[in-house]
Amino acid sequence: MYEFLQETVDNNMTRGVRSVAPETTVSDLYRMFARDDYDAYPVVRDDVVVGFVTKLDALKAFAFTSDQMLPHYDDRMGTTVDEIMSCDVIAVDPDTNLQRVLQLMVAHRLKSLPVIDKYHHLLGIIAREDVMRALARCTKRRAPPLAPCETVQCLRLA
């Protein structure tokens, strides 16, 4: 378990992550979700992370509102990502410990976090699966060494 405390995002993140532009439509976003089998995308403008959009965010376009009980499907498919994305992005840098990532994911109920540099450029993503793999790798129990026969006492059952 102590090995896990030393693990960082840099050694466990997924690099080369797809992102979307703020101008991407919900229609295009749905196609991307289906094609890539992702649950979320970082939103990038001019190489800077400006938001994060999830499948749940994409569904927001179709939620009832007080002024429109039944949204028109075709109209809502033209909604752009910048209208539905989360702007308050919780991101981490490559030097962040995985224990901190785990705390953030649990506290904020997140499936993944973008990994950014000091200029907010996207470097990758760290997902729950990445943390789980690192945890499993670091906590594999090794069998204790066998004791020599002469030091083992035998119990006799009467």
Read off the pLDDT of residues 96-133 as tens digits, 9 standing for 90 and up. Answer: 999 999 999 999 999 999 999 999 999 999 999 999 99
Residues of the chain with pLDDT under 50: 143, 149, 151-158
Q: What is the model's pLDDT at position 158? A: 42
Query: Does the global pTM surpass 0.85?
Result: no
Sheet strand arrangement including 14-15: 14-15, 122-127, 112-116
Q: Using DSSP bridges, classify how beta strands 40-45 and 122-127 pair: parallel, antiparallel or unpaired.
A: unpaired
Specify whether the backbone of 63 is left (phi greater than 0), alpha (psi in -120 to 50) or beta. beta
**Residue 59 half-sphere exposure toward CB, CA atoms < 13 A:** 5
Radius of gyration of the chain (CA): 23
Tokens found for residue 63: 């939620």
Q: What is the model's pLDDT at position 139? A: 82
Cβ-proximal residues to 20 (8 Å cutoff; 6+ apart), any chain: 28, 29, 32, 41, 42, 43, 44, 53, 81
The Cα–Cα gap between 155 and 158 comes to: 10
